[in-house]
Each structure stands twice: as structure tokens, then as C-alpha cells.
Structure 1
Amino acid sequence: MDLNLDSFFHTVISMSNVDHFTMKEVSVGFCCLTKTEHFELSEIERKVSGYVKKLLKKGQLEESSIANNKFKTYKKTRLFYDSNDITKTRAWLLTEFIKDCRAQRARFIFEMFEYDKALEVYSKSYANSHDLEEIMKPAHELLKNKSSLLKNKIGIIEQLIELYNREVLLVLKSDY
């Protein structure tokens, strides 16, 4: 499952101290923001490139090249600031964050069901042949551990979504 990381890239680009930036700087900013270990930097740079191209098409960024620099730099335009006022940005980020969490939870649930199905197969094999039990026991334990780990991750994501929803309600109440 390919997660949409645009909300994270948008967060980095929207920072007030970010202007005249390169795609590599946004990629590194993303890594710092998320403390990610799940993506290769080249994959992140590819995704940043796609997001920057979207902003260029919308006229929210301008591209410039410095003669001695091999990297293109990008500058936020007035249209970027106009279309990204704080209330719109906050609502958009909240929505994107929840979508990202739900997508990750769905992926973990799918993986957990795969492990649970494999555990059923192992259990049926045990019932049919006790000779296989010793051979299959290490793999069975590994599947149980992975399934348990995924259940824990799902629980954490669900708690995170719940906490985030409560925080959103507090923010929305304080805005009015």
C-alpha cells in the first residue's frame, strides 16, 4: 500500500523559515519531522518531486536555478500563502493525518489476518501429524509473535486516532 505523504511534505514546505528550498531539503525535513526509517531517501525524494510538481502546476511555487548550484530551488508564491491560510491548513493536515493513520491501520489489519490464517494452517497441521510439530514450532512461534506485534501496533494507532480526535475537538472548541 502506497501511503500519501503529501501532508507531511506540505507541513515542511509551509514552515515559515522554509523558502528558497531544494527537493533534497524537503526530503531531509520530512525525515526529521517523522523520524522515519521505513523509506529510502531516494523514494522520499521521488515523492517530494511529485508533490513539488503539483505545487508548480498550481502556481504556488516558482522554480529558479542558481548558476553555480546543480539543484533547482523553489520559492513560495503569494498564491501559496493565499491558498494555505492557517485555518485551511490546520483542517487539511488533520484530515490527512487521520487518513494516513487509517491507511496504516488497514494495512496492519490485513497483515495480521494473513498471519492469523497461516497460524490456523499450522494448527491444523499439528492436529494431523504430531511429527511435524517440532519442525514447525519455530515458524509457528514467529507467526504468533508477528501477529501479536501487529495487534499492538493496531492498538497504538487506534489510541493515536482517538487522542488526535479529542485534541481536534479541543482545538475546534477553543477557536469558537
Structure 2
Amino acid sequence: MGKRYHCDYCDKTFPDSASNRKKHLKGVFHTRMKLLHYDSFRDAETVFKVESTKKPCRRFQQAGGCDYGTTCKFSHLSPSELAELEARAEAEKRASKQIISAPLPADVTVQEWTRKRLKAQERLPEPFAYKFILAEGSAAVDKNACGSVRAPSLDDLLACRPNHWG
């Protein structure tokens, strides 16, 4: 069996050859699915600019649906939905301006910031609370024992990262 090409946009698989791939990539279905995928990442301001210039879709208003879906050249948003989209775009714009325009204190240096951060981390609870128990009990275990019997050292515990399940 030869190699097969899987298109993530279309969720289709076909025999991999240059001509098959070229036909698929230029196909209407692939183009539509790719556009739909990238449209999901557009911000509210871009969507509002595009949708506000479109005329309302009569078919969508009369029948409640449109055969063209997201590729329709007319807008499927009601005036209230358009106003809500505009408000969301304005809120995103204000939030981004607040993040950008937040003044940074001029007197803070990198060293001071690092010191403050390290002090904050020292106040956090110890992730390896059982290290003291292991340090006390490890004296009783023979130092010449094999690695699986010997208790891990403090350095071993600090080097490993616990798994988080769930």
C-alpha cells in the first residue's frame, strides 16, 4: 500500500501524489474548509468591519437558512447581533490599549524585579514536603545498596518534576 495524504482542514485521506495533492488543494471544498478554519481565529473588530459592509441576506432572513453558509457574500447577522459584535470589538480594543498603555515604573531595575520574584517564590509551599522525612530515614539505608533500594537524595527529588494527571 502506498503513502496516503491526510488533509487536516477537510479530514480526508487520498493517495499521495503531486497531481492528487494539487487537485485537492485547488478544490472548492478544501478552499471553503480552509477559509472556515482561519475565520475562526479572526478578532471581533475584523469580523465587524467585514460584516458591516455587507447587505443583509434575504434568503437567510426569509427561510432562516442559507445554502452558502459562511461563504455567502451577504450578511447573516441581525442588527442586534451586529451591535453586539461592535460592542465586543470596542471592548477588545479598550482592553488592548489598557495593556499597552500600562506605565512601567522607571525606578525598577531587572535585579530588583528578580529579587522580588525570588522572595515571592520562597513564600510558596514546598512542592516536595516529604524531603525532610527522606533525609532523616536515608541514614539507616546502606550507601552501597543498589539504586532501586536506596532512597532518592534531595538532589534527585529536586531534579524530577511530578506528573499532573487529569
TM-score normalised by L of structure 1: 0.25
Select the structure with the greater relative contact order (CA < 8 A; seq sep ≥ 6).
1
Structure with greater Cα Rg: 2
TM-score normalised by L of structure 2: 0.26
- The structure that is helix-richer by fraction is 1
